[in-house]
A and B are shown apart, each in its own frame.
Chain A
Amino acid sequence: MPNRLGTWVACCLAITLLLTCGSLIIGTSSIETSLGWLFSPDAQSSVVLWQIRLPRTVGAWFAGALLGLSGAIAQGVFRNPLAEPYLLGTASGAALGVTLSLIAADASIGALAWTGKLGITGAACVGACAAIALTIGLSRGVLQTASLLLSGIVVAFLLGAVTSLLLLSKPDIWREMQVFLLGSTGFVSWSSATLLGVAFCVCVVPAVLLARGLDALTLGEDTAQSLGLSLPMLRLTLLGVVSLGTATAVGQVGIVGFVGLVAPHLVRETLSVNHRQLLIGAALCGGALLQAADLLCRWIIRPAELPVGAVTAFVGGSYLTFLLWRRSRDA
């Protein structure tokens, strides 16, 4: 179905373009004002449009694309449609990293300077990478997917418990943490959008090159191996891509749930495709999803904002419920 795939990709791109335009004119000021800014710019309005709103929506797209891509890879590697990008403990590791950096900044001036350099995003990224290393270490490598999944869950619970204890002892940082835990696209500047874009390019190339390996894995691990694939190499590379993608996304926009889980399902529900098409489709779809969620969270209670993670969780959760309902009805 090359034509259907083409239509699908074109639709995704068109939606992305629409959302980008939409996000330029929707914000705390009214749409009329924004349109006025667009056509008769002055110094202040061009900062709002091109330095705040555009990087924010571009960053949201890249973050969503990274999550969608990582989700599709994770589902392929674990041969499990419920796998998602955070299953290696990334989210809880990032949360712990941010908590620690906030506490450290509170505690001493020296630490404040140090965490100032690293920033919340840096701390989240370091925490996420440490959690992934811990997960892989616990399962002694990447060969056993079952034990890898299990250690991911264990690490997530352990780090989550540590984070909760720390938050209990320091209630004053709770508010700042909440922004991070619920996910927010509000702080994405051009520099973080660029970072997300670079990470996306770095992730998408090996993912697409190795997509045939994921195809082979659908025939079973033994068959894949008999075809001449190196399973450890394939898994290690792809899990590296998942880790890089999620750690970067979590670092820049916080813990945005459900995009990585829902995007590949949306592609699979509308098209039946091989993994190369699925990975690209999930990335495009994830990008558009997070952009849309970003727009919604600015729109619903304007001029205030909802946390974007809450919107994705709500929309994604409803969609999965719908899928479940339809499956049980068809069965």
Chain B
Amino acid sequence: MREAEMNPPALPVQPTPPALACQDLSVGYGSRMVLEGISLEIRAGFWTAVVGPNGSGKSTLLRTLAGLREPRTGSISLQGRRLSAWPRRERARRLAWLAQTPGATELTAAEVVALGRFAHGGWLAHRQAVDDAAMHRAMVATGSLSWARRRLSTLSGGERQRVHLARVLAVEAPVLLLDEPTTHLDPPHQEDVARLLREQAYGGGVCVVSAIHDLSLALAADRLIVLGQQGVIGHGTVREALDGDWLSAAFQTRVNIVDHQGVHLWRPAVPRARPANGASTGLNEGL
């Protein structure tokens, strides 16, 4: 659509299909429906954060979009083609998924990242220079290169998470689906990951979709998909989400967002701490 505006149509311009889209998606476990009637169009070049309360189906949505769970109804398309119509490895080259708690294993970090290149070579292929380059870039970007030869089981949770992130980046897929990529990370590394996702979206033109628990971090994304217990509350820019107060609707409680010089932050409404000098002893005074 943007091309059409810049370039007044002499010829009818085919709009590029969205990187990832779903129509009327319903997913359930047993008799319980987790998601119902979800329709989304997610475009490339943006970092989209999926937010919502526990149990609203963030993980389920990502898993379904990744093709790991059959939807009850509805269809999913990846780059304009039905998800299930893609051959397995071609699909894995275009769509990379990061689990919420990826496993610990006896493999070394480099071996784990190399698994991300599986879709490019297959069973019989040997690792090529392209694969090595992609692995190297991914490990540098996530700051995990220095543990390349260490076993995953000997790394801390946060270090492990960064190795798995490197594995996902090493796929060099145009669509990334990341389930809580910042869990286990300390704040500076959360920042690094957020910066990385933004870079992937802007610099690489990648469609980045991540479920994010931390609202302040989610508000740093370009676009939000806000899930409530009743399905999608809204999908749009952060501005639209704030103007429509989608977050309060999703969490069914007042969500305090403050605007700090153009940066939106979530401020928990917690009673103020007691002053350090001990002058005040009454509990109620601090409120």
Contact = CB atoms under 8 A, between A and B. Distances in A.
A262 B153 CA distance: 22
Contacts, number: 67
Contacts of B124: 209
Contacts of B245: none
B260 interface: no
Nearest to A272: B106
Contacts of A209: 123-124
B57 to A, nearest CB: 16
A189 to B, nearest CB: 37
Interface residues of A, number: 21
B102 A220 contact: yes
A223 B102 CA distance: 8
Interface string B91-118: 1110111010011011110011001101
Interface in A192-249: 209-210, 212-213, 215-216, 218-220, 222-223, 225-230
Given A210-B123, A274-B111, A223 B91 contact: no
A273 interface: yes
Given A218-B107, A219-B112, A228 B99 contact: no
B99 A227 contact: no
A229 B91 CA distance: 11
A218 B89 CA distance: 19
A210 B122 CA distance: 10
Nearest to A225: B68
A226 B119 CA distance: 9
B2 interface: no
B98 to A, nearest CB: 8
Interface string A136-162: 000000000000000000000000000
Contacts of A274: 106-108, 111
A219 B105 contact: yes
Contact of A226 (B92, B103, B123): B92
Nearest to A230: B88
A274 B105 CA distance: 9
B189 interface: no
Contact of A216 (B93, B118, B153): B118
A223 B112 CA distance: 11
B66 interface: yes
A218 B123 contact: no
Interface string A264-276: 0000100011100
Contacts of A218: 103, 105-107
B119 A228 contact: yes
B119 A215 contact: no
Given A219-B99, A226-B97, 20 more contacts: A209-B124, A212-B118, A213-B123, A215-B105, A216-B118, A219-B112, A219-B115, A220-B99, A220-B102, A223-B102, A226-B95, A226-B96, A227-B115, A227-B118, A228-B118, A228-B119, A230-B88, A272-B106, A272-B151, A274-B111
